[in-house]
């Protein structure tokens, strides 16, 4: 953590709204995409980000600096998204989701052909369905590991689990996705 960041954190924890806004500007860029991937709904992702920022503001005095402020804020956002997913789906385990705008769902080409657009849309729909078929734990662990590049230790902390359980959830998710998406596999 930089000295400047430490000063912003100290000022924000004393109630300086400008300092908190500065911290959010520095670190909040990745919150929305991860929430969309977990929830699969842009509107719910916005709610999760807003809830995360409110929760972070309330908990700022408890930030202990063991991780970076960005990691701490990201973890709060993941927990907010998981909470919303659990509430909407009546789930007890940790959630998972991906939106149709996620990485493999849309191919950003310079001028794709209509057939390519249709195939991409169909693949996106199949990917979304395959992700929906995963358990919440599998989906969240997969999204955090393969789309957000979280280390296993952070995934375990975010999901309040252990590293081995997270590895198993990711393995199961990958296996299920391979089976579900096998018809779309293209040999290179």
Whether residue 188 lies inside any domain: the answer is: no
Question: Residue 45 falls within a domain, yes or no?
Answer: yes
3 state DSSP class of 65: coil
Rounded to an integer, what distance in angstroms lies between the CA atom of residue 149 and that of residue 147? 6
Give tens-digit pLDDT for 120-177: 566 666 677 787 888 888 988 998 898 888 889 988 888 888 999 999 999 999 999 8
Q: How far apart are CA 168 and CA 177, in angstroms?
A: 14
Q: What are phi and psi of 157, to 5 degrees?
A: -65, -45
- Which class for 96: exposed (0-12), middle (13-18), buried (19 or more C-beta within 10 A)? buried
Are residue 76 and residue 105 in the same domain, yes or no? no
105 plus 69 within the same structural domain: no
Reported as a single tens digit per residue, the pLDDT across 34-73 is: 888 888 889 999 999 999 999 998 888 888 877 788 888 8
Q: What is the pTM of this model?
A: 0.62
Which structural domain, as residue segments, surrounds residue 119? 100-183
């Amino acid at each position: 953590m930089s000295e400047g960041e430490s000063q912003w954190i100290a000022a924000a924890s004393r109630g300086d709204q400008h300092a908190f806004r500065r911290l959010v500007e520095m670190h909040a860029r990745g919150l929305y995409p991860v929430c969309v991937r977990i929830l699969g709904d842009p509107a719910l992702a916005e709610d999760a980000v807003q809830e995360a920022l409110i929760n972070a503001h309330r908990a700022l005095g408890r930030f202990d600096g063991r991780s970076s402020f960005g990691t701490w804020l990201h973890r709060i956002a993941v927990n907010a998204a998981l909470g919303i997913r659990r509430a909407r789906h009546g789930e007890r385990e940790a959630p998972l989701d991906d939106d149709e705008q996620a990485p493999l769902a849309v191919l950003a080409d310079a001028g794709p052909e209509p057939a390519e657009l249709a195939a991409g849309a169909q693949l996106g729909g199949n990917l979304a369905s395959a992700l929906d078929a995963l358990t919440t734990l599998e989906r969240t662990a997969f999204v955090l590991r393969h789309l957000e590049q979280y280390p296993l230790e952070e995934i375990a902390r975010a999901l309040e689990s252990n590293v081995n359980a997270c590895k198993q959830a990711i393995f199961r998710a990958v296996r299920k996705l391979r089976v579900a998406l096998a018809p779309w596999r293209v040999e290179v």
